[in-house]
Amino acid sequence: MPEPLFRRLALIGVGLIGSSLARVARERGDIAAEVVATARSAETRQRVIELDIVDRVEPTAALAVEGADCIIMCAPVGAYAAIAAEIAPHLAPGSIISDVGSTKQSVIRDVGPLVPEGVHFVPAHPLAGTEHSGPDAGFATLFRDRWCLLTPPPGTDEAAVEKIAELWRRCGSAVEVMDPNHHDRVLAIVSHLPHLIAFTICGTADDLAGESRQQVLKFAATGFRDFTRIAASDPEMWRDVFLNNREALLEMLARFTEDAQAMARAVRWGDAAYIEDKVERGRAIRRSLIELRQA
Amino acid sequence: MPEPLFRRLALIGVGLIGSSLARVARERGDIAAEVVATARSAETRQRVIELDIVDRVEPTAALAVEGADCIIMCAPVGAYAAIAAEIAPHLAPGSIISDVGSTKQSVIRDVGPLVPEGVHFVPAHPLAGTEHSGPDAGFATLFRDRWCLLTPPPGTDEAAVEKIAELWRRCGSAVEVMDPNHHDRVLAIVSHLPHLIAFTICGTADDLAGESRQQVLKFAATGFRDFTRIAASDPEMWRDVFLNNREALLEMLARFTEDAQAMARAVRWGDAAYIEDKVERGRAIRRSLIELRQA
């Protein structure tokens, strides 16, 4: 077995992503010699002990990062500023702080200024997840064959970036370095907007009166059912994602709304050619995804 | 084996739904003693012969319905008026004409007036489908444990309605009779609007310039990938559905758009409580679906 990448890995948060990281680290043994975790609630800490997926569970983030050479924040992105403020005085020189958040400009804005001199900051985003959450939801193969995007600020230590890249490669992911602004725009359309739409349409259906609402649930055909699967994700996480990728999300939503209105107009006026063209484009994108093995 | 329900079943169209019906009829043997099919294209007819899923393939709908006691239109709903006009003179008294279209008021409007005296008209909609189309896409278990909604016009012969209900029960479906207007509203929100949205967002992504567009395909995370699965469906079919459920679809799209704008406002102004509430409602609907075994 190769040398472990880190002596001590500290996971701040042990939900779907954190607990999956813990499991893959334990399974492989070459990611960290020791894994320490912390969670805000006593209940979650107890459950993590029962699941036996880390070496030690600490009640505070400050205690968890003590002596760690790699710290990964695995909490909703809205909690990062407070976490960074709490752990900053306890970070060892030469250690690396990273994260798994779905928005990257906000992480650089919130965490960057709090990172002490001599500590390396390598924001990361594994494009992996399910509609389940909590420490029981994680599994060791979650990151296998998925992308992990790194958005290190300019001037970040190359060796630190490489160590985080290697961590994710050992989790089975393909790693790519990306500009954080570009990351946020791409994620707004491929992930954040679809989730916003899915949550919204569930609400629209839920607002229908009486019998219709009952029948919506009863006859949920394929389309709506798929939307509810997306909409089943963690509320806190998504609230934070929306609020922390505001600009890009609102821009993509505005573009989408214009396009939906154009489609509405085509439906109203019976423009069959326009509708067919849009439907064909959907199919073409689907085919591209299949060719790129993303479907 | 029970007596076959029909002497001769004629399928007008042999795509995903028609070819699935043909397969289940052949597999069971108690749906029809003979199954005759027709398709517009010579290529499809040839393929149906190769697949050996029906007893006879005819080049025209008029020939296919000759002597049939049950006729099911399995074509895009926009083609129904022309099909009905073609087959009307060839329908035997006492025979039943039905369909599988996703819009029901339009079918009653387009086909109803053309049904000859003494022929029974029982519109039906099996809530089943995949993103694939054509005679190769069908399979005998497509309708199993799914709903089939019947929307017979007032005064329709009870025995004819029961025979069509029994046909779908033999396909494995649960049958429910519904008002056509109500059907169209419920389907607008559970199926037609989600498809319109999925087609639209694929177009929005496809319109992004240069590098972003490439990366959208490359990094399609869970959300977008699920949307493209919906969007991979048959263009002709969906064009016809949108155009033939115009009123209900535009109303549901208007409601959704209002809700999406409210969500955009909450994102812009940082209204965390509003966003969390919407996300929670999505989860609640998901849970209801799981309890109703629709998920």
Rounded distance, CA A123 to CA A136, Å?
25
Domains in chain B, start-ordered, CATH in brackets? 6-178 (3.40.50.720), 182-291 (1.10.3660.10)
> What is the residue-averaged pLDDT of chain A?
92
Alpha helices (runs of H) in A130-245, residue ranges in sequence order: 158-170, 180-187, 193-206, 210-218, 222-231, 235-244
Contact B264 A250 (CB under 8 A): yes
Q: Give this prediction's pTM.
A: 0.89
Q: How confident is the model at residue A5 (pLDDT cuts 50, 70, 90)?
A: very high
- pLDDT reading at A1 higher than 80: no
Report the pLDDT value the prediction gives residue A231, as an integer from 0 to 100: 73
The C-alpha angle A234, A236, A238, rounded to 5 degrees, equals 70
Contact B218 A282 (CB under 8 A): no
CB B243 within 8 A of CB B210: no
**Nearest partner of B140 among B18, B293, B295, judged by Cα:** B18
- Residues whose CB falls within 8 Å of the CB of residue A5, separated by 6 or more in sequence, listed in order: A30, A31, A32, A70, A163, A166, A167, A170
Tens place of pLDDT per residue across chain B (295 aa)? 779 999 999 999 999 999 999 999 999 999 999 999 999 999 999 999 999 999 999 999 999 999 999 999 999 999 999 999 999 999 999 999 999 999 999 999 999 999 999 999 999 999 998 888 899 999 999 999 999 999 999 999 999 999 999 999 999 999 999 999 999 999 999 999 999 998 898 889 888 877 777 888 788 766 677 777 777 778 889 999 999 999 999 999 999 999 999 999 999 999 999 999 988 888 888 777 777 765 5
pLDDT > 90: what percent of chain A? 77
Contact B295 A197 (CB under 8 A): no
Which of B195, B222, B229 should we substitute to test contact with A (largest number of A Cβ atoms within 10 Å)? B222
Report the pLDDT value the prediction gives residue B293, as an integer from 0 to 100: 64
Q: How confident is the model at residue A7 (pLDDT cuts 50, 70, 90)?
A: very high
Contact A194 B201 (CB under 8 A): yes
Report the pLDDT value the prediction gives residue B54, as an integer from 0 to 100: 98
- pLDDT reading at A9 higher than 80: yes
Shortest distance between the Cα of A179 and any Cα of chain B, in A, equals: 12
Tens digit of each residue's pLDDT (9 = 90 or more) over A173-184 = 999 999 999 999
Report the pLDDT value the prediction gives residue B230, as an integer from 0 to 100: 76
Question: Residues of A with CB below 8 A from B280's CB?
Answer: 235
β-pairing, B124-126 vs B147-150, is antiparallel
Backbone angles phi, psi at B11, to 5 degrees: -105, 115
Tens digit of each residue's pLDDT (9 = 90 or more) over A222-248 = 667 777 777 777 888 999 999 999 999
Report the pLDDT value the prediction gives residue A273, as an integer from 0 to 100: 95
Shortest distance between the Cα of B152 and any Cα of chain A, in A, equals: 18
Report the pLDDT value the prediction gives residue A295, as an integer from 0 to 100: 53
Report the pLDDT value the prediction gives residue A35, as an integer from 0 to 100: 98
- Residues whose CB falls within 8 Å of the CB of residue A87, separated by 6 or more in sequence, listed in order: A12, A61, A62, A65, A71, A97
User: What are residue B121's DSSP bridge partners?
Assistant: B97
Tens digit of each residue's pLDDT (9 = 90 or more) over A255-287 = 999 999 999 999 999 999 999 998 888 888 877
Q: B158, exposed or middle or buried, with CB in 10 Å at 0-12, 13-18, 19+? A: exposed
**Nearest partner of A177 among A190, A193, A160, A195, judged by Cα:** A160
Name the residue type at position A287. R
CA nearest to A293 within chain B:
B218
Report the pLDDT value the prediction gives residue A208, as an integer from 0 to 100: 86
- pLDDT reading at A221 higher than 70: no
Contact A198 B282 (CB under 8 A): yes
CB A38 within 8 A of CB A73: no
Report the pLDDT value the prediction gives residue B235, as an integer from 0 to 100: 85
Rounded distance, CA A215 to CA A213, Å?
5
For A279, which of B197, B235, B264 is closest by C-beta distance?
A: B235
**Helix (H) or strand (E) run with residue A109 in it:** helix A105-111
Q: How confident is the model at residue A136 (pLDDT cuts 50, 70, 90)?
A: very high
Rounded distance, CA B279 to CA A228, Å?
11
User: What are residue A8's DSSP bridge partners?
Assistant: A34
Report the pLDDT value the prediction gives residue A214, as an integer from 0 to 100: 80
Q: B52, exposed or middle or buried, with CB in 10 Å at 0-12, 13-18, 19+? A: exposed
Give the helix, strand, coil percentages of chain A, each rounded to 5: 55, 15, 30
Report the pLDDT value the prediction gives residue B282, as an integer from 0 to 100: 80
**Helix (H) or strand (E) run with residue A121 in it:** strand A120-122
β-pairing, A70-73 vs B96-99, is unpaired
Alpha helices (runs of H) in chain B, residue ranges in sequence order: 16-28, 42-51, 61-65, 80-87, 105-111, 158-170, 180-187, 193-206, 210-218, 222-231, 235-244, 246-268, 272-291
CB B267 within 8 A of CB A250: yes
**What number is the average pLDDT over the span A68-76?**
97
**What number is the average pLDDT over the span A129-134?**
86
DSSP for B155-200, please give it. Answer: T--HHHHHHHHHHHHHTT-EEEE--HHHHHHHHIIIIIHHHHHHHH
User: What are residue B12's DSSP bridge partners?
Assistant: B38, B73
Report the pLDDT value the prediction gives residue B225, as an integer from 0 to 100: 76
